[in-house]
Amino acid sequence: MKRNSRLKINYFILEVIAIIAAAIFIYPVFLMFINSFKTFREVIIDVIALPQQLNIDNYFYVIDKMNYPRLFVNNILITAVGITGIVAFSSLAAYIIDRSRSRFTSLAFLFIITPMLIPFQTFMITLLKVMNIINLSGSRVGLGIQYWGFGIPMATFIYFNFMKTVPKEIDESAFIDGATTFQTFIYVIFPILKPVTATVIVLDVMWIWNDFLLPLLMVNDSQKTKTLVLAAYNFVGQYNTQWHYAMTAMVLAIVPSLIFFVLLQKYIVKGVVAGSLKG
Amino acid sequence: MIFENKKEKYLFTLPAIFMVSITIYLPFLISSYYSLTEWNGIDREAKFIGLENFKTIFFENNQFFDVLIFTGNYTALFMLFSNLFALIIALVLVQKLKTAKLLRGIFFVPYIMSMIIVGFIWKFIFSQGFARLYEITELGLLNLSWLGNSELAFYSVVLVGVWQQLGFYIVLYIAGLQAIPGDLLEAATVDGANIFQKFFKITLPLLGPSITVCMFMSLTRGLKVFDIILALTQGGPGGSTYSATLDIYREAFQYNNYGLGSAKAIIFFIIVLILTQIVLKISRRNEVEL
């Protein structure tokens, strides 16, 4: 009995410490939120105090100045195009690489996954040139397509590791029923791959949505193709003394990811773990 | 097998092969060639100059050398702190706490935010937030010039880098800790092992795979640090926080030295390749199978 109650107190102390640590940890994010509701004067006088009233004028101003709806559509489009290609081409490649073990497929596998070891920054200089030539720079769809190449290596690797565990009898019975290889893939295999597809989507949405360097290289200053994060970067650079607007722009840039996270926390954490332990 | 000698194995791998070829291999090969040239990005033809760029980098000044030292120091501290704090917090959060789930979520929040935004938030904290907190608390630590002093700026960048990524490593360590069989720890308790013996003799060795993954990830991410520095210090003060990737970026896109930039990129690539192989070897060797 005594031992139990001491253990309880220990847990209680541990819990209090953990809560305080987490509160300090997240305080910068909290500060950003409260300052986005303040007027310029309020920010200058006291950055820590809570706003006197919930003033959303900053939001109207920044949404209009940044052309937020347009950026939002851009981000959705680029991310959707990127994800679709990565999922389709990686799963297809992983499927045939696992099922048809030959010299060609093992070489193809090596060729596809090796770029995981090549840092983006080592070839970004000439990437821009190549993309200019084949007309993939400077458009939203083009940017989305570029992500195919950067996302396929890891996605193929993750799909392949899962494919190994899918019994071959499943496709054999589909063949006996007269399905072609492609039909087997679409109707039989791809549905089985669903958990891996979820992992790949979670990892790649977080990556593409927040990516900064590739849009910075490709988009320049064209309003039409700018992404959310890139626009926030330019906006904060321009308004670097008007912190109330800067904070609002930053909140607007992260709110979609935050909502995405709160709604899908379980899948996101699972996806991140699965993706890293296998990738 | 059914698939032998079928055209599908070419057809189905073709899109993936094609995409990685044009977005990764082709630019990489062209970069390797440009590293042997002098080119400002505008002229039609790059001038072939052999190994001149590498000579410039290695012998004529040690600017890139300083950049590599910063990147190395940053990566070392980043790896140390991310893994140490993540492991400690993970150990706490796997205990039976009522708020454990919520706290895990909170620590993960910075990881889902764009690194550029994270850099800006902290720029605000360091410049405005600390000043105000100092007025209230009079803690001398808050009155220092965290972004203006070259030595402190280094630690500021490390702090922000760790802050952004910590949640990711916490999640991986929690997964690792949960995979350790409870009866193993119970048996040790019965045998009279104390909490530290249990941690160092059982938990830590069995965490091997998680540690390998976390070490590898923190190494490659540390070496590639870019966004946070661009938002926080832009390489300053006095070039003291210039990372390798920022230097490559500036050399090419701001100073228009595409040849020299490509040469730096190739050197960076080789260094990353060697370091990742070493770290993988070391941590794999220390793993323990159950």
Write down the pLDDT at residue A28.
Answer: 94
Indicate if A109 and A201 belong to the same structural domain.
Answer: yes
Average pLDDT in the A236-244 region?
87
pLDDT of B289 above 70? no
Indicate if A144 and A74 belong to the same structural domain.
Answer: yes
Mean pLDDT of chain B: 89
Indicate if A22 and A85 belong to the same structural domain.
Answer: no
Mean pLDDT of chain A: 90
A26 in Cβ contact with B108 (< 8 Å): no
Indicate if A265 and A152 belong to the same structural domain.
Answer: yes
- pLDDT more than 70, % of chain B: 97
Q: State whether B133 and A48 contact (CB < 8 Å).
A: yes
Among A58, A85, A102, the domain-final residue is A58
Write down the pLDDT at residue B1.
Answer: 47
Q: Find tokens 């950003």 and name the residue.
A: A32
pLDDT digits (tens, 9 = 90+) for A67-89: 999 999 999 999 999 999 999 99
Indicate if A192 and A137 belong to the same structural domain.
Answer: yes
Burial-class residue B103 by CB neighbours within 10 Å (0-12, 13-18, 19+): buried
Indicate if A217 and A91 belong to the same structural domain.
Answer: yes
Give the count of Cβ contacts less than 8 A between chain A and B: 265
pLDDT of B13 above 80? yes
Among A36, A58, A80, the domain-final residue is A58
The shortest CB-CB distance from B28 to any of A21, A118, A236 is to: A118
Per-residue H/E/C for chain B: CCCCCCCHHHHHHHHHHHHHHHHHHHHHHHHHHHCCEECCCCCCCCEECCCHHHHHHHHHCCHHHHHHHHHHHHHHHHHHHHHHHHHHHHHHHCCCCCCHHHHHHHHHHHHHCCHHHHHHHHHHHHHHHHHHHHHHHCCHHHHCCCCCCHHHHHHHHHHHHHHHHHHHHHHHHHHHHHCCCHHHHHHHHHCCCCHHHHHHHHHHHHCHHHHHHHHHHHHHHHHCCCHHHHHHCCCCCCCCCCCHHHHHHHHHHCCCCHHHHHHHHHHHHHHHHHHHHHHHHHHHHCCCCC
Q: State whether A212 and B34 contact (CB < 8 Å).
A: no
Nearest to B204 by CA among B93, B83, B104: B83
pLDDT digits (tens, 9 = 90+) for B182-222: 888 888 888 888 888 888 888 888 888 889 889 999 999 99
**Chain B residue with the nearest C-alpha to that of A202:** B112
Average pLDDT in the A81-102 region?
94
Contacts of B34 in chain A (CB under 8 A): 125-126
* A97 confidence band (pLDDT: 50, 70, 90): very high
pLDDT digits (tens, 9 = 90+) for A6-52: 778 888 899 999 999 999 999 999 999 999 999 888 888 888 888 88
pLDDT of B3 above 70? no
Q: State whether A117 and B276 contact (CB < 8 Å).
A: yes
CATH of the domain at A273: 1.10.3720.10
pLDDT of B169 above 90? yes
Contacts of A95 in chain B (CB under 8 A): 12
Q: State whether B114 and A253 contact (CB < 8 Å).
A: yes
* B288 confidence band (pLDDT: 50, 70, 90): low
Write down the pLDDT at residue A218.
Answer: 87
Indicate if A50 and A73 belong to the same structural domain.
Answer: no
Please tell me the least confidently modeled range out of A48-57, A119-128, B170-179, B257-266.
Answer: A48-57
The shortest CB-CB distance from A277 to any of B26, B120, B213 is to: B213
Q: State whether A146 and B23 contact (CB < 8 Å).
A: yes
C-alpha–C-alpha distance, residues B270 and A122, integer Å: 10
Domains present along chain B, CATH in parentheses: 62-285 (1.10.3720.10)
What Cα–Cα distance (Å) separates residue B245 from each residue in A40, A218, A257, B10, B77? Answer: 36, 17, 26, 36, 18
CA of B60 to nearest chain A CA: how many angstroms apart? 22
Q: State whether B115 and A212 contact (CB < 8 Å).
A: yes
CA of B193 to nearest chain A CA: how many angstroms apart? 17
**Chain A residue with the nearest C-alpha to that of B208:** A277
Angle between helix axes A68-99 and A228-238 (nearest 10 degrees) is 140
CA of A15 to nearest chain B CA: how many angstroms apart? 6
- pLDDT more than 90, % of chain A: 57
ipTM (interface pTM): 0.90
Write down the pLDDT at residue B239.
Answer: 85
Among A11, A33, A58, the domain-final residue is A58
Indicate if A52 and A103 belong to the same structural domain.
Answer: no
Indicate if A111 and A12 belong to the same structural domain.
Answer: no
Contacts of B113 in chain A (CB under 8 A): 29, 210, 254, 257-258
Write down the pLDDT at residue A98.
Answer: 92
Write down the pLDDT at residue A279.
Answer: 52
pLDDT of B266 above 80? yes
Residue B87 or residue B59, greater confidence: B87
Q: What tokens appear for B49 in the block?
A: 């100059």
Number of neighbours of residue A199 by Cβ within 10 angstroms: 25
The SS3 of residue A167 is coil
Indicate if A99 and A203 belong to the same structural domain.
Answer: yes
B224 in Cβ contact with B268 (< 8 Å): no
Write down the pLDDT at residue B174.
Answer: 94
* A278 confidence band (pLDDT: 50, 70, 90): low
Contacts of B210 in chain A (CB under 8 A): 277
* A136 confidence band (pLDDT: 50, 70, 90): confident
Indicate if A35 and A89 belong to the same structural domain.
Answer: no
CA of A195 to nearest chain B CA: how many angstroms apart? 18
Q: The domain containing residue A267 runs over which residues?
A: 67-278
The shortest CB-CB distance from B125 to any of A31, A89, A105 is to: A31
Q: State whether B19 and A277 contact (CB < 8 Å).
A: no
Average pLDDT in the B119-133 region?
89
Write down the pLDDT at residue A2.
Answer: 60
Indicate if A129 and A263 belong to the same structural domain.
Answer: yes
Contacts of B217 in chain A (CB under 8 A): 276
pLDDT of A206 above 70? yes
Q: State whether A130 and B224 contact (CB < 8 Å).
A: no
Write down the pLDDT at residue B162.
Answer: 97
CA of B4 to nearest chain A CA: how many angstroms apart? 7
Number of neighbours of residue B77 by Cβ within 10 angstroms: 18
Number of domains in chain A: 2
B141 in Cβ contact with A56 (< 8 Å): no
CA of A68 to nearest chain B CA: how many angstroms apart? 16
